[in-house]
Amino acid sequence: MVSRVREALNKIRWHKDLDPKDYEVHVVHRGAPGDIKVVPASCITEVLRGGFKFRDVDGNEKVIPYHRVLLIRNRVSGDVLFSKGE
């Protein structure tokens, strides 16, 4: 079964009518304010089977497993593509 998070990230990356710059991914990140880190979808470099890779502001590549994703939303319109628990 394909993860709903993976489906949403692939849609953002590959759908011709969607701009990754408009989307953000909220993930559990211990030590961040409120333990939540916001990753711009435009920083995602690869969508994997169990998580995704992104480049941080220092250019380091990091991997986030899908179970840590809380929310994927369009930051411009507010539309939610994924919300954990829904």
What one-character DSSP code corresponds to residue 49?
Answer: S
- pLDDT tens digits for 55-78? 998 999 999 999 999 999 999 999
> What average pLDDT does the structure give for the chain?
94
Which structural domain range is residue 64 located in? 4-76
CATH (domain of 40): 2.30.30.100
* CA–CA separation, 25 and 23 (whole Å): 7
pLDDT digits (tens, 9 = 90+) for 17-32: 999 999 999 999 988 8
Instruction: Confirm whether 47 is domain-assigned.
Output: yes
Q: Is residue 70 part of a domain?
A: yes
pLDDT at 32: 82
- The residue whose two tokens read 């990356």 is 13
